[in-house]
Amino acid sequence: MRLCLIGAVLVFVPLGGQPAGFNYDEAKVPQYTLPDPLVMADGTAVTTAAMWKKQRRPEILELFAENVYGHTPKAKIRLRTEVLEIDKTAHGGTATRKQVRVWFGPAADAPYMDLLMYFPNGVKGKVPAFLGLNFGGNHTVQPDAEIRVTKSWVSNKAADFKASEKDRGAGQSRWPVDAVLKRGYAVVTAYYGDIDPDFDDGFKNGVQPLFYRAGQTKPEANEWGSLGAWAWGLSRAMDMLEKEKEIDASKVVLHGHSRLGKAALWAGAQDERFAIVISNDSGEGGAALARRKFGETTARINTSFPHWFDGNFKKYNEKEDSLPVDQHMLLALIAPRPLYVNSAVEDAWADPKGEFLGALGADPVYRLLGTPGLLVKEQPAVEKPTIDGTIGYHIRQGKHDVTGYDWEQWMNFADRHFHRAGK
Ligand code: GCU
Number of separate domains in the chain:
1
Question: Is the beta carbon of 296 within 6 A of some atom in ligand 1?
Answer: yes
Q: For residue 257, which atom of ligand 1 is closest to its CA?
A: 12
**CA 282 to ligand 1: nearest atom:** 10
- DSSP at 374: B
* pLDDT tens by residue, 53-105: 999 999 999 999 999 999 999 999 999 999 999 999 999 999 999 999 999 99
Pairing mode, if any, of strands 276-280 and 247-257? parallel
Question: Cα of 28 to ligand 1 centre, how many Å?
Answer: 22
Residue 67 CA, chain-centre distance (Å), reads 19
CB 126 within 8 A of CB 245: yes
Strands lying side by side in the sheet with 276-280: 79-89, 95-104, 112-120, 186-191, 127-134, 247-257, 276-280, 339-344, 391-396
d(CA 258, ligand 1 centre) in Å: 6
Torsion of the alpha carbons at 134, 140, 145 and 147, rounded to the nearest 10: 20
Containing structural domain, residue 386 = 35-44+46-417
Tell me the CATH number at 356.
Answer: 3.40.50.1820
Confidence of residue 160 (pLDDT cuts 50, 70, 90): low
Alpha carbon distance 46, 229 (integer Å): 31
In this model, does residue 17 exceed pLDDT 90?
no
* pLDDT band with cut points at 50, 70 and 90 for residue 206: very high
The per-residue pLDDT for 164 is 83
Nearest protein CA to atom 13 of ligand 1, as residue: 258
CA angle 319, 323, 327 (to 5 degrees): 115
Residue 26 placed within a domain: no
Domain contains 24: no
Per-residue pLDDT reduced to its tens digit, 275-322: 999 999 999 999 999 999 999 999 999 999 999 999 999 999 999 999
**Ligand 1 atom with the shortest distance to the CA of 260:** 12
Residue 150 lies in a domain: yes
What whole-number distance in Å separates Cα of residue 422 and Cα of residue 312? 45
> Does 25 fall in a domain?
no
The residues with which 25 forms a beta bridge, in sequence order, are none
Looking at the domain assignment, is residue 16 inside a domain?
no
Active site residues: 258, 400
Q: Whose CA is nearest to atom 8 of ligand 1?
A: 301
258 lines ligand 1 (CB under 6 A): yes
Residue 371: what residue type? T
Q: What is the pTM of this model?
A: 0.96
Domain assignment of residue 74, yes or no: yes
| Strand 95-104 versus strand 247-257 pairing type | unpaired
**Residue 99's closest CA among 150, 147, 27, 167?**
147
Q: What is the mean pLDDT of residues 119-145?
A: 97
Instruction: Please report whether residue 3 resides in a domain.
Output: no
Chain segment 247-273, per-residue pLDDT in tens: 999 999 999 999 999 999 999 999 999
Q: Are 292 and 29 in contact (CB under 8 A)?
A: yes
Ligand 1 and 301: CB distance under 6 A: yes
